[in-house]
Amino acid sequence: MNILVVGGGGREHALVWKLAQSPKAERVFCAPGNAGIAAQAECLPVGAEDLDGLVALAKDKRIDLAVVGPEAPLTLGLADRLADAGVVVSGASAAAARIEGSKAFAKDLMKKYGIPTGDYRVFDTLEPARDFIQKTGGPLVVKADGLAAGKGVLLCQTTEEALAALDQVMKAKAFGAAGERVVIEEFLQGEEASFLVFTDGKNIRPLPTSQDHKAIFDGDQGPNTGGMGAYSPAPVVTPALHDEIMGRIMRPTVQAMAAEGCPYQGVLYAGLMIGPKGPRVLEFNARFGDPECQPLILRLESDLVDILEAIPQGRLDQVDIVWNDLTSLCLVLASAGYPGAYEKGLPIEGLEAAAQQEGVVVFHAGTAKKDGRIVTNGGRVLGVTALGRDVVQARERAYGAAERIRWTGKYARTDIGLKALARIKEMAS
């Protein structure tokens, strides 16, 4: 079987790493890939949003299964185009991907079908939005409606911060066309968790729980990023809460999408706030999270090809999906300045030494090869991911391996996994 993975980040490296282990995988291609992916797949210089180029590539390489990693090509309709070309595709249709591509669509869907989320208003013009903020007062969350690489959500404690955020989105166009419409919503209190499921539009199979860390600085301070680290399982999601999330959020959402005429097939990701009113949806994503994908993939014992083939064929109920009972943790190593401006092309040292540590896999994100050396090529550069018997060991292994990796300006949060430790201690007392 010839397999194509679309994308070039840490999530795609994790998918390639796992897919390449399948006995069904004869050749694995990735477009465009990165320096780490090139060790396990043939990387082809076609951009993830070049739909014509990707369809041509799929035909040329006789691709049997295509896996679309990022959100942008899904919202542009890549899965539809590939399916029309006769390729089995794991990825949401353009109509279904609106659940991520438009926050207003997702909020309206949740309101219509009674799926728990925060109160909100949607605005297409600046002045009515400003009036609403002034009348409501902070804290509020200001969101660009469209895709903004995980950075279009602005948490505002005061009215003044919310007004400044609104100007940043709608007036300064900080997120381009994504900010032509804004969603202003209730500031939910609690602890965040990520909840992902595989679904073929009818059958739903949950993945283990996980928790992302969006903010750039320790203690969840500073601007949001694409994600600075993640671990699985997330102890904040108890077995009872797991059942509640499936019953009140995931199943109703899959049923709602079908009822709206856009059945959802693929990985559906709910970003949740676990608070005093129970779980409520912050946002939906139409794909694997990045970095949640990395620790989750390390816990998957089953053949990923079997799962991703079954989804578009509507037979997910026929596949055995087995996860190990270990804990996994991914620590993102980023470039100095991220999520703002950062330098590229800096040589990276210590990759082999880090990868040789027990239980560790180093997934590449923003890397490239230059003059025979691996160099930085993005804001989030690497995802050092480790398995352990518990979060203490997984954390020690990931941080220990990360210390062996060096480049000028390397940055990482120091607190990935501490929430889990605190929660476990609290539950034990």
Q: pLDDT (tens digit, 9 = 90+) per residue, 93-110?
A: 999 999 999 999 999 999
pLDDT-based confidence at residue 158 (cuts at 50, 70, 90): very high
Residue pLDDT, tens place only, 247-274: 999 999 999 999 999 999 999 999 999 9
Please say if the pLDDT value at position 214 is more than 90.
yes
φ, ψ of residue 199 to 5 degrees: the values are -150, 140
pLDDT-based confidence at residue 151 (cuts at 50, 70, 90): confident
* pLDDT given at position 429: 77
Report helix, strand or coil for 84: helix
Residues 376 and 335 sit within 8 Å (Cβ to Cβ): yes
Please say if the pLDDT value at position 213 is more than 80.
yes
pTM summary value: 0.95
Give the side-chain half-sphere CA count within 13 A for 291: 34
Q: Which two tokens stand for residue 401?
A: 């391996």
**Amino acid, single-letter form, for residue 19:** L
- Assign residue 173 a region: left if phi > 0, alpha if psi is -120 to 50, beta otherwise? left
**Mean pLDDT to the nearest integer, 236-247:** 97
φ, ψ of residue 28 to 5 degrees: the values are -120, 125
CB atoms inside a 10 Å sphere around CB 105: 18
Residues 333 and 402 sit within 8 Å (Cβ to Cβ): yes
| Residue at token pair 């079987």 | 1
Residues 289 and 71 sit within 8 Å (Cβ to Cβ): no
